[in-house]
């Protein structure tokens, strides 16, 4: 059993994007297979300050961080949040120690490094995405560059860095010079049963969003530029010409929503739902004839797995981690990112051939259930913890041996000195 202190800026019931769902599934599955897991996260109105739920101890930082400055710079808020998270974690640690500190993304960087020192436990970090990647390599403002620096710092402070795809392994290596031997690929998982909605819920979603038997296309996620929803909207006129009565549902929220709704002003086929909870989203996916992931940047593409688990054929941009989980013509269809015409052609291939669509969905669902089940992902994460503990243990043994030799007044030959002093990380 490993005692894990996990740090995340979102956790149910507070969900902003995919990170919160990932941390929740990982924490609860680790607990189910026998590990002792504490998650320290941000408080949200209506949630308990501390609770044991689904086998996990959840501690929520209730100290209110300072408001974001009028300039829109989020770093003042992030600094205050980091202090609140650290204080909450230190309070949690009063009842017992932890073997590993696991920090998720840059907002947990300062708390992760502080707690590593205070608890004398190795730090494992998961880099879910990078600021450079989100902005296609352009860091326009001071806060973007600071976030990039924090990601680099976290990468070098952690004894193990977890990434979700080979694509992300290459990215953190290129951007941050992360040591390959310390960077481990552990893909995101999916709870296939959770995303398989009840037939009654699927039928209700179909009645709500679709026009009879006409095709229904859906997207769900953060409404930000890099998610590429603008290209899906640009493809709608081409698709409605081929498929009369077509409906497109865009679920989610974010800073780009007003721009997207402006773009869709002349598209009556498009419905914006705002954020949908898990059951509503699973029903929407199950009711859809095609689920589209039009991202420009996608470290993994967990939502594509969720749609596959719901039994829906997927059309995804040929970018990032999506290329590692969707095999064109076998478990989905692909198109070049940022190309509305190619997007329309890919979706049309699914909508025009129902038997082909069913074959794609069947194979993708089997893949999601067999290759990306959370027990398998949690077991691989536990192996990362064990490797981190082994490395730290080896380093401590070297230090103890050197201290014992020095205490005995023995002169160490130069060759042994060099071996004893070699870096351990």
Same domain, 235 and 281: yes
CATH of the domain at 259: 3.40.50.2000
The answer to whether position 374 is within a domain reads no
Same domain? For 246 and 115 the reply is no
Which pLDDT tens digit goes with each residue over 36-94? 999 999 999 999 999 999 999 999 998 666 655 455 668 888 888 999 999 999 999 99
Question: Is 311's pLDDT higher than 50?
Answer: yes
* Contact (CB, 8 A) for 121 and 115: yes
25 and 103 belong to one structural domain = yes
Same domain? 207 vs 164: no
Q: Evaluate whether residue 380 is within a structural domain.
A: no
pLDDT at 420: 43
**Residue 419 pLDDT exceeds 60:** no
**How far is it, in rounded angstroms, from Cα 161 to Cα 158?**
6
Nearest to 195 by CA among 53, 376, 364: 364
Domain extent for 112? 3-185
One domain for residues 178 and 238:
no
Instruction: For residues 134 and 27, state if they share a domain.
Output: yes
Last residue of a domain, one of 340, 362, 384: 362
pLDDT at 382 over 90: yes
Work out the percent of the chain whose per-residue pLDDT is above 70. 90
158 lies in the same domain as 209: no
CA dihedral 9, 162, 170, 156 (to 10 degrees): 80
My answer on whether 28 and 109 are in the same domain is: yes
pLDDT (tens digit, 9 = 90+) per residue, 325-365?
Answer: 999 999 999 999 999 999 999 999 999 999 999 999 999 99
**How many distinct structural domains can be found in the chain?**
2
Boundary (domain end) residue, out of 185, 210, 228: 185
Whether residues 203 and 159 share a domain: the answer is: no
The whole-number pLDDT of residue 285 equals 96
- Across residues 19-43, what is the average pLDDT? 96
pTM flag (> 0.75): yes
- pLDDT for res 416: 47
More confident residue, 422 or 174: 174
Within a domain: 412 = no
pLDDT at 140: 86
Average pLDDT of the chain is 90
Report, as an integer, the average pLDDT of 200-213: 93
Q: Is residue 300 part of a domain?
A: yes
pLDDT above 90 covers a percentage of the chain that reads 79
Residue 57 in any domain: the answer is yes
**Within this chain, do residues 158 and 236 fall inside the same structural domain, yes or no?**
no
Locate tokens 């309070």: which residue? 91
- pLDDT of residue 406 exceeding 80, the answer is no
- Residue 220 sits in the same domain as residue 158: no
Same domain for 158 and 217, yes or no, is no
- Which of 127, 160, 185 corresponds to the end of one domain? 185
> Does the bond joining 183 to the residue before it have cis omega, within 30 degrees of 0?
no
194, part of any domain = no
Q: Tell me whether residue 382 is in a domain.
A: no
């Amino acid at each position: 059993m490993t005692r894990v202190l996990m740090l995340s800026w979102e956790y149910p019931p507070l969900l902003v994007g995919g990170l919160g769902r990932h941390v929740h599934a990982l924490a609860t599955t680790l607990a189910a297979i026998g590990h002792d897991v504490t998650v320290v996260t941000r408080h949200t109105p209506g949630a308990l300050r501390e609770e044991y739920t689904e086998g996990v101890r959840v501690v929520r930082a209730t100290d209110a961080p300072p408001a974001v400055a009028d300039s829109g710079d989020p770093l003042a808020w992030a600094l205050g949040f980091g202090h609140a998270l650290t204080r909450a974690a230190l309070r949690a640690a009063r009842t017992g120690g932890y073997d590993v500190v696991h920090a998720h993304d840059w907002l947990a960087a300062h708390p992760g490094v502080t707690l590593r020192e205070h608890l004398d436990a190795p730090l494992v970090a998961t880099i879910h995405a990078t600021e450079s990647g989100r902005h296609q390599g352009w860091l326009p403002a001071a806060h973007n560059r600071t976030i990039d620096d924090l990601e680099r710092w976290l990468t070098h402070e952690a004894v193990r860095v977890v990434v979700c795809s080979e694509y992300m392994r290459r990215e953190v290596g290129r951007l941050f010079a992360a040591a390959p031997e310390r960077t481990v690929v552990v893909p995101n998982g999916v709870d296939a049963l959770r995303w398989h909605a009840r037939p009654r819920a699927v039928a209700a979603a179909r009645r709500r969003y679709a026009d009879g038997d006409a095709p229904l296309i859906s997207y769900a996620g953060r409404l930000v530029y890099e998610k590429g929803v603008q290209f899906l909207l640009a493809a709608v006129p081409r698709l409605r010409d081929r498929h009369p009565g077509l409906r497109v549902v865009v679920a989610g929220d974010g800073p780009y929503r007003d721009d997207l709704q402006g773009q869709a002003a002349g598209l009556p086929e498009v419905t914006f739902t705002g954020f949908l909870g898990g059951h509503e989203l699973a029903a929407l996916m199950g009711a859809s004839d095609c689920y589209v992931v039009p991202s420009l940047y996608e470290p993994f593409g967990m939502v594509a797995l969720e749609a596959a688990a719901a039994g829906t054929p997927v059309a995804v941009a040929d970018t990032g981690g999506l290329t590692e989980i969707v095999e064109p013509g076998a478990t989905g269809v692909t198109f070049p990112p940022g190309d509305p015409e190619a997007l329309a052609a890919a979706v049309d291939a699914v909508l025009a051939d129902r038997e082909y669509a069913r074959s794609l969905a069947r194979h993708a669902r089997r893949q999601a259930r067999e290759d990306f089940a959370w027990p398998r992902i949690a077991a691989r994460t536990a192996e990362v913890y064990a490797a981190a503990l082994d490395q730290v243990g080896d380093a401590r043994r070297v230090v103890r041996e050197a201290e014992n030799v020095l205490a005995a007044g023995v002169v160490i030959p130069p060759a042994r000195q060099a071996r004893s002093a070699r870096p351990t990380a």
